[in-house]
Amino acid sequence: MNDSLCRPASLFGEISLMRRNSTSAPMSVLNHNFVARASRVLQRLGFLSCLLTVALISLLALVMISCGDGTGASAGTPGLTFSNASLKGQYAFSFVGTDTGGPAMLAGTFLSDGNGNINSGVEDSNAISGILTNEVFNGTYSIGPDGRGSATITNSRGLSHLQFVIISVNRALIIQFDTFASGTGSINQQAPTDFNVSAISGAYVINFYGFSAVGSSYVATGILTADGRGALLGVIDENDGDFKPNLPLAGTYTLAPNGRGTAILATSSATSHFSFYVISRSVLTFVELDSLPFVSGVARAQQGAPFAISSFSGDYAFGAGGQTVSGPFASAGRLTADGRGTILAGVRDDNDTVNVTRNLAFTGAYTVSPQGRGTGTLTSPTTSYTLLFYMISQTEAVLMSSDPALVSIGEMSGQQSAPFGDSSVHGRFGVMDSILTGGLEQDVVSQITIDGAGTGHGLQDLNAGLLPTPPTVVTATFSISANGRVMATMSGARGQSDFALYLASSSRAYLVGLNPGVAERGLVEKQY
């Protein structure tokens, strides 16, 4: 848990402190041209809207980074107790947030000693105020029996604070908890035996999000193949309001003994520079080190190729976030694929801050290539979306809108344990969500115990527009349909809010807020 704290803290500590005290950063790391360009872009696009778009999308990547879904036998057991010893070892983190200067993205690594100390922290950050690489940090943390914790991170610019909830000894969800910065992130235990170039080999599905070279909201997905010797080849699809499919991609990568790597990726129109951190040979987390584009993301090892149309078959839950012409967009839903190119029994809930659409039924059609690249159309009585997806496996995929009017990316997971009911969900859960309301970003992390009869209770930490609040009691009521759609009402630090959740399993769910004027996206994971 201390690890999770460390990560977010370091991530946000770096970002927030960098923004607050940007004059203390070496001039060599400040790109003044970027500041000027970004200021013009953000004014044109709507500053807060763009920031939330990144926050909403980044939550999806946190699900994809997860090394497990909490289905272990110990999940939710009455005797489950956490402490400072719950996280010990080396962890990687990724984080996206905002401070008083604008958006910021970070990734890094640290060591946790299991006694409340964070050491040997190194991170890379990209923010409006500049790009910093190999920044050193350390810190302290404290974890309670319910898995809720706090951390203080120290770097050359001062202190920052985090709140978090432990999912397991391998993973935690975190938020920044300062008056000068807020954001969301995760930490994940690393596999040091994979800290070598030869371990990074084979095909990876990538999921990138952020801002394009002209400052508009940007999402991308594709296949990146590593040869285990430092060379990369692939194909990428991009959408920044101008959909660009099947762009050839080539590059190189290196990897240091601490699990930090560097990568150069080039298309015919642009060359981008990244740092990345190895969680395992199957999961890598990226942050770009260029002024613009300004993106971060995840790469997941692909399994099961070659694929066919029959590879996409069965029940799936999904979550997505991004930007429409109306503003930030959040969506969650479920569908059934028949393995022959037809989508059946689809239903979803959408919120773009102007329109809230509940329980919208849809059907559709799809194709799948041998490389796992799929295309599809989702059709309802009121809307029609075109999309593409890349299969990570037969039960997981990255999905992205190919509609220029909807810059959105998400994840799809095969549903397990259906049909569902109120008794399907019980035990202790971590919840993290990001919200835009009243022109301000709010980030929330909660620990909730659910009784299996439709009610839950716990504690919640909220950073409401750079105003951290004391821990607040949160209560919830749920009604779970057989298809995994959950109607929920929660009362906590923000008052009463309505949500739709879609169960990927009894241990994990995608969350979308249903409150007018509030775009909200989140995830729920069972503690174990």
- Cβ 17 vs Cβ 135: under 8 Å: no
Assign domain 422-526 one CATH number from 3.40.50.1820, 2.40.160.20, 2.60.40.1840, 3.30.230.70.
2.40.160.20
Q: Does 43 or 88 have the greater pLDDT score?
A: 88
- Residue range 309-414 forms a domain whose CATH class is mainly beta
Distance CA 483, CA 421 (A): 9
pLDDT digits (tens, 9 = 90+) for 431-449: 999 987 656 789 999 999 9
Q: What is the pLDDT of residue 359?
A: 97
- Cβ 14 vs Cβ 135: under 8 Å: yes
Please give the C-alpha separations between residue 236 and each of 219, 226, 229, 373, in angstroms, as whole numbers.
Answer: 10, 14, 21, 10
Q: What is the pLDDT of residue 212?
A: 82
Please give the C-alpha separations between residue 491 and each of 34, 236, 520, in angstroms, as whole numbers.
Answer: 41, 42, 15
Q: What is the pLDDT of residue 55?
A: 58
- Of 205, 192, 6, the closest CA to residue 95 belongs to 6
Same fold, 2-190 and 194-301: yes
- Mean pLDDT along residues 405-423: 95
Pair of tokens at residue 514: 């249903």
Q: What is the pLDDT of residue 67?
A: 43
What kind and span of H or E run contains 218?
Answer: strand 217-227
pLDDT band for position 12 (cuts 50, 70, 90): very low
Q: What is the pLDDT of residue 98?
A: 83
Distance CA 234, CA 257 (A): 26
Q: Is the pLDDT of residue 280 over 80?
A: yes
Q: What is the pLDDT of residue 63?
A: 56
Pair of tokens at residue 6: 């460390």
Which residues have CB under 8 Å from 61's CB, separation 6+?
Answer: 94, 207, 209, 285, 296, 297, 298
The one-letter code for the residue type at 314 is G
Q: What is the pLDDT of residue 125?
A: 92
- Mean pLDDT lowest for which of 46-50, 134-138, 160-164? 46-50
Burial of 73 by CB count in 10 Å (0-12 exposed, 13-18 middle, 19+ buried)? exposed
What kind and span of H or E run contains 188?
Answer: strand 181-189
Q: What is the pLDDT of residue 71?
A: 36
Q: What is the pLDDT of residue 104?
A: 85
pLDDT digits (tens, 9 = 90+) for 307-342: 999 999 999 999 999 888 878 899 999 999 999 999
Distance CA 489, CA 497 (A): 6
Domain range annotation of the chain: 2-190, 194-301, 309-414, 422-526
Letter string b/e over residues 402-437, b meaning 16 or more CB atoms within 10 A of that residue's CB: bbeebbbbbbbbbbbebebebebbbbbbbbbbbbbb
The CATH architecture assigned to 194-301 reads Beta Barrel (2.40)
- Of 143, 132, 207, 160, the closest CA to residue 7 belongs to 160
pLDDT digits (tens, 9 = 90+) for 449-472: 999 999 999 999 999 989 999 999
Q: What is the pLDDT of residue 528?
A: 95
Q: What is the pLDDT of residue 215?
A: 72
Q: What is the pLDDT of residue 110?
A: 96
- Of 219, 233, 183, the closest CA to residue 293 belongs to 219
Question: DSSP of 169-184, one letter per residue?
Answer: TTEEEEEE-SSSEEEE
Which residues have CB under 8 Å from 101's CB, separation 6+?
Answer: 19, 22, 127, 128, 129
Distance CA 483, CA 479 (A): 12
- Mean pLDDT along residues 381-389: 92
Q: Is the pLDDT of residue 18 over 50?
A: no
- Mean pLDDT along residues 296-306: 97
Distance CA 385, CA 403 (A): 7
The rounded mean pLDDT for the chain is 86
My answer on whether omega of the bond before 293 falls inside 30° of 0, hence cis, is: yes
pLDDT digits (tens, 9 = 90+) for 225-249: 999 999 999 999 999 999 999 999 9
Which residues have CB under 8 Å from 23's CB, separation 6+?
Answer: none
Distance CA 114, CA 109 (A): 16
- Residue 488 C-beta-side C-alpha neighbours within 13 Å: 29
Q: What is the pLDDT of residue 22?
A: 33
Q: Is the pLDDT of residue 499 over 60?
A: yes
Q: Is the pLDDT of residue 163 over 70?
A: yes
pLDDT digits (tens, 9 = 90+) for 37-70: 344 334 433 444 455 555 556 555 565 565 443 3
Burial of 162 by CB count in 10 Å (0-12 exposed, 13-18 middle, 19+ buried)? buried
Judged by DSSP in three states, 302 sits in: coil
Q: Is the pLDDT of residue 367 over 60?
A: yes
State the Cα torsion 381-384-390-391 to the nearest 10°: 10
- Mean pLDDT lowest for which of 59-68, 213-222, 250-259, 497-506? 59-68
Q: Is the pLDDT of residue 112 over 80?
A: yes
The one-letter code for the residue type at 218 is Y
Handedness of CA 290, 401, 483, 393 (dihedral sign): negative
- Residue range 2-190 forms a domain whose CATH class is mainly beta
- Mean pLDDT along residues 138-145: 97
Distance CA 186, CA 169 (A): 13
Distance CA 361, CA 344 (A): 9
Q: What is the pLDDT of residue 157?
A: 78
pLDDT band for position 382 (cuts 50, 70, 90): confident
